[in-house]
Chains A and B, each alone.
Chain A
């Protein structure tokens, strides 16, 4: 079974631009979460989607948004990019059988550099 895939793997943008990142979960997984990883802040939760609905959101500004499609694929968008948005953006998928804990499996990430 293929793992979580993320595209593109690397991206360079300039301040003020916007960017869209894509994530395809493991086949059969319906929950997709996004995390931002930086050397200073570590891994921080952005948001989580299940059946095209955002169920939980982390403490990030409204410039960060996402969506999930009917096939469980997800995209996240960052508008008006700032230098501080440079990070590794990770997507994780989960089977989510309705239990109180869900194993999450990560993709390789998209490395975003803002100049």
Chain B
């Protein structure tokens, strides 16, 4: 099965700075990598995803990069705002149905 590792577990940045969260995966057959944001008391919210045939994808202040050779992918948040504070999860899909999640990164953006 797939094993997804995520770093760091906690990240504190100042408002306006960039934040980077990194994940690695074990199964080279994995082909889809979503990122979720989870706020306190809520379910995970899909914020961006990338497929194995793409190297980079951007949506406003959020971008994701994928290096298939090294089997790692990263989330980049630019111009961070206090409302970006949340727990972020990376995940990989191997079979098409089962999401394998990283352990999460607690991001704190201080004003």
Contact = CB atoms under 8 A, between A and B. Distances in A.
Interface of A: 4, 31, 33, 35, 42-45, 48, 50, 55-56, 58, 90, 92, 99-109
5 contacts: A33-B98, A45-B99, A48-B98, A102-B96, A106-B36
Interface stretch (B19-27, B44-52, B76-84): B44-52
Interface residues of B, number: 25
Contact of A104 (B31, B42, B46): B46
Nearest to A98: B96
Q: Please classify the interface of chain A as helix (H, G, I), strand (E, B), loop, or mixed, using the class held by over half of its residues.
A: strand
Contacts of B51: 101
B66 to A, nearest CB: 13
A102 B93 contact: yes
Contacts of B41: 108
